[in-house]
Structure 1
Amino acid sequence: MKKKPKPLLQSGWILEGFPENQEQAWMLQSSGIFPRHVVMLYAPDTVLIERSGGKRLDPVTQEVFHTTFDWPSDPLVQQRLVKPEDLSEQEVSKKLLEYHRNFPEIFHIYQKVLKSINADQPSVDVLSQVLAFVQSRHRSAAPFTPRVLFFGPPGSGKSLQAALIAQKYDVVNICCGQLLKEAVADNTKLGELVKPYIDSGCPVPDNLVLRLLTERLSALDCLTNGWVLSGFPRDVGQGEQLQKAQINPNRVFFFNLPQESIMERLSQRRTDPVTGERYHTTFRPAPTPEIQARLRQNPKDEEENIKKRLDIYYSNVKALEDFYEEAFYVNADQDPYVIFEFIESCIIKPLPCKNVF
């Protein structure tokens, strides 16, 4: 999915009729799209079927009217209205059956931000309840300001879990690599110093990374809401520099995943150069042979390059585990929401000595 344009980020948005199932909901979250409020309108099936029977479509403007609730005043419009072909009682019943089958999975994903509202009442009352809900602010269940640090090999799901934590607790999601790129794109003073290293593909010096992180983590939103950080530190030396800068996480997680699972996740990723859409040869194959033929692989996802990245990670991880001795250990080779529930439980409960999951 394409990056959200700034007007939507500034003004907000309303999405209707999507996602329709669990897979689509996960796709939204993987793309970094997290609604703060989800409204589920419900009514008895008999009422919904009856309402559907009264819908009429203007074939000229594609505007939808209703014989009881929203009849047009213009006689010309009245004369050209037609009944949509897909709104027979049989078709509506099939759609309702599909909806009832998929809704429990969607409810599970969005249950912390979802409110059910009875739609079998005057529309003005429905609107009033919806407005009251979307204007409310969710209270975090976290008993403290979370400062969370994620470690894990490439492909272990750190980004998804960081996004889920950020959504649930309204903390700031900081990926070190992305932070560096944003500094360059924004033409900040630090960004100008970082740019030559990004352009050449060379590692950015620790002192520049630390200055950028210290500046970001000292911002009001991080101090007030907390943060979740991934991509730094990569070794104990960087961890010690974080300590000296008084950047101390209160929860640390190490993601563990078999190397064969990592290779399967990363080496089979493909991108459509025309649309920018991402696919996976096993988990999300291209829908047509035409799209399949034009897919390209990012060089970093070639097996040789994946192995190099893994070698760098594994050469440092043992020392990092010793450095952060009170860390939690996560089996990342399972359902993302099982992983999230474990991480969440570690965040909201008092810190134990050591835990393995």
Structure 2
Amino acid sequence: MFIVFVGPPGVGKGTQCRLLAQKLDLLHLSTGEVLRQAIQDENELGKKAAQYIDDGRLVPDDIMVKLIDEQAIGRKHGCLLDGFPRTLVQAEALDQLLRKRQQELLIVVQLLADREEVLSRLSARARIESRSDDSPATIERRLEIFDRQTAPIVEFYRNCGLLAEINGIGKPEEVHVRVLDRVREAIDLAGKR
């Protein structure tokens, strides 16, 4: 079972994936963590990705697809994909990779929050974690990129009947209840196919 989480930076995808991974005993694969690990390992893909991340730009589709294919696709029990796909090209590549391995996407969870909430969360995270991709200029650039490049996948997954829009505002436990309800509905529906 593969579950995708989409939403702007700071909406809580990572938090919700961690909670759901514990509940369903699935691997949580955060593309941010995968990228940071590749950069730390100083492998070829990591070095290329670092240049984009430092500028607040999305890592090119071909690099992301290779990293995800290496880490997630082919896992017998699936995983939670946090931050992938971010573009229509990546969404289509994920679909092809899953089909090739006779696996399928169960649900796409879109966490929703207004821009002010997201900016507040990212600013707080930057103070606590000192992440280079959470500087004020980079935050604004990441949100602009999300609006422009990631939004089309929402329509793609809506048209596929996989999209579940969930309010991401509230305490993490409250949001988790909403997420878990929708995921359980998707599991029930998949069992009836």
Q: Which TM-score applies when normalising by structure 2?
A: 0.79
Matched residue, 2:149: 316
Distance in 1, Cα, partners of 2:15 & 2:178: 14
Pairing partner for 1:334 from 164, 170, 176: 170
Equivalent residues, number: 177
Could you say if the C-alpha distance between residues 207 and 301 of structure 1 is closer, same or farther in structure 2, counting changes exceeding 3 Å?
closer
Matched residue, 2:116: 260
Give 1:235 deviation, angstroms: 1.2
Matched residue, 1:303: 136
Aligned residue type for 2:76: L
Give runs of ≥4 in structure 1 deviating > 6 Å.
none
Give 1:257 deviation, angstroms: 0.5
Pairing partner for 1:240 from 84, 92, 95: 92
Give 1:345 deviation, angstroms: 1.5
Aligned residue type for 1:194: L
Distance in 2, Cα, partners of 1:269 & 1:180: 18
Matched residues, percent identical?
27
Deviations 1:51-80 (A, max 9, x none): xxxxxxxxxxxxxxxxxxxxxxxxxxxxxx
Pairing partner for 1:200 from 33, 45, 51: 51
Matched residue, 1:215: 70
Give the secondary structure class of the aligned counterpart of 2:98: coil
Distance in 1, Cα, partners of 2:88 & 2:135: 28
Distance in 2, Cα, partners of 1:208 & 1:314: 21
Could you say if the C-alpha distance between residues 201 and 165 of structure 1 is closer, same or farther in structure 2, counting changes exceeding 3 Å?
same
Distance in 2, Cα, partners of 1:239 & 1:269: 28
Is the 8 Å Cα contact of residues 73 and 98 (structure 2) preserved in structure 1? no
Give the secondary structure class of the aligned counterpart of 2:9: coil
Higher relative contact order (CA 8 A, sep 6+): 2
Q: Which runs of 5+ in 1 are unaligned?
A: 1-145, 272-277, 280-296, 353-357
Is the 8 Å Cα contact of residues 39 and 47 (structure 2) preserved in structure 1? no
Could you say if the C-alpha distance between residues 227 and 303 of structure 1 is closer, same or farther in structure 2, counting changes exceeding 3 Å?
same
CA RMSD of aligned residues (A): 2.4
Distance in 2, Cα, partners of 1:185 & 1:299: 14
Aligned residue type for 2:28: N
Distance in 2, Cα, partners of 1:153 & 1:208: 20
Is the 8 Å Cα contact of residues 235 and 316 (structure 1) preserved in structure 2? yes
Matched residue, 2:106: 250
Residues 111-190 of structure 1 aligned to structure 2 (within 5 Å):
146-186=1-41
Q: Which runs of 5+ in 2 are unaligned?
A: none
Give the secondary structure class of the aligned counterpart of 1:328: strand
Could you say if the C-alpha distance between residues 301 and 182 of structure 1 is closer, same or farther in structure 2, counting changes exceeding 3 Å?
closer
Give the secondary structure class of the aligned counterpart of 1:246: helix
Distance in 1, Cα, partners of 2:41 & 2:138: 29
Matched residue, 1:133: none
Is the 8 Å Cα contact of residues 39 and 50 (structure 2) preserved in structure 1? no
Deviations 1:235-285 (A, max 9, x none): 1111111112226421111111111111211223455xxxxxx37xxxxxx
Higher helix share: 2
Deviations 1:119-152 (A, max 9, x none): xxxxxxxxxxxxxxxxxxxxxxxxxxx3110001
Is the 8 Å Cα contact of residues 29 and 80 (structure 2) preserved in structure 1? yes
Could you say if the C-alpha distance between residues 351 and 335 of structure 1 is closer, same or farther in structure 2, counting changes exceeding 3 Å?
farther
Give 1:198 deviation, angstroms: 3.4
Q: Which TM-score applies when normalising by structure 1?
A: 0.45
